[in-house]
Amino acid sequence: MTHTKRAALFGAVVLSLSICGTALADETTASFNLTPGTCTNPIAIPANNKPVMVMGTTITVSFRGEGHVVMQRYGSQNLLEWAGTDYYAGTENNFSEAPGAHIMWLDYNGKVDLQSATSSHVQVCNSASASGPRAGYLTFIY
């Protein structure tokens, strides 16, 4: 095979599968502490079109819980898609183009809700009617 043909073959491989490189994973963590009936400010998904792991916890005693989803933010359509599992509901997989859609529960009894927010951000909402605030963390890995 000539050098030119090898170059053409290499080009064909690059066309179908492009390795973006190996690096350390990026991680960001946000904390929340919500009184009943309130939501956090919208939280940005840190990458568009690429898969992002979102793990969340509630750490308030007696209401603790956890879950995780892999999420795609499709920026040009204001679309969020996700698939994962949480302690309260089990499998969570869906998509939404509107704010306020349930993504996963972060607590023991289905009150602390990770939701879609405006501009395909996410937010954490505490829908508990009483019994104090709910606190926890959201971690993004990508």
Partner 1 sequence: MTHSKICAALFAASLASVSGIGAAQATESTISYSVAGGTCSSPIAVPANNKAVLVMGTGIIWPYNGVGFVSLLRGNTSGILSWSGTGLKDGTIGAYAFTAGTHIMWLDFATTVDLQTASSTHIQVCNTGSDIAHAAGYLTFIY
The answer to whether residues 129 and 115 touch, using CB atoms and an 8 Å cutoff, is no
**94 lines the binding site for partner 1 (CB under 8 A):** yes
Q: Tokens 């939701």: give the residue.
A: 115
Helix (H) or strand (E) holding 39: strand 38-39
Smallest distance, Å, CB 20 to partner 1? 4
Size of the site for partner 1 (CB under 8 A): 40
**11 lines the binding site for partner 1 (CB under 8 A):** no
Q: Select the residue interacting with partner 1 from 33, 38, 139, 142 (CB under 8 A).
A: 142
**26 lines the binding site for partner 1 (CB under 8 A):** yes
Smallest distance, Å, CB 129 to partner 1? 31
Strands 112-117 and 27-34: unpaired
Q: Select the residue interacting with partner 1 from 33, 38, 78, 85 (CB under 8 A).
A: 85
The answer to whether residues 55 and 138 touch, using CB atoms and an 8 Å cutoff, is yes
**51 lines the binding site for partner 1 (CB under 8 A):** yes
Per CB under 8 A, contacts with partner 1 among 55-84 are 69-72, 74, 76-77, 79, 81-84
Report the residue number, 62 or 91, with the smaller CB distance to partner 1. Answer: 91
The string of DSSP codes covering 96-114 is: ESSTT-EEEE-SSSS-EEE
The string of DSSP codes covering 53-96 is: EEEEEE-STTS-EEEEEEEEEEGGGTEEEEEEEETTTEEEEEEE
Applying CB under 8 A, the residues found at the interface with partner 1 are 13, 15-27, 49-53, 69-72, 74, 76-77, 79, 81-85, 90-95, 141-142
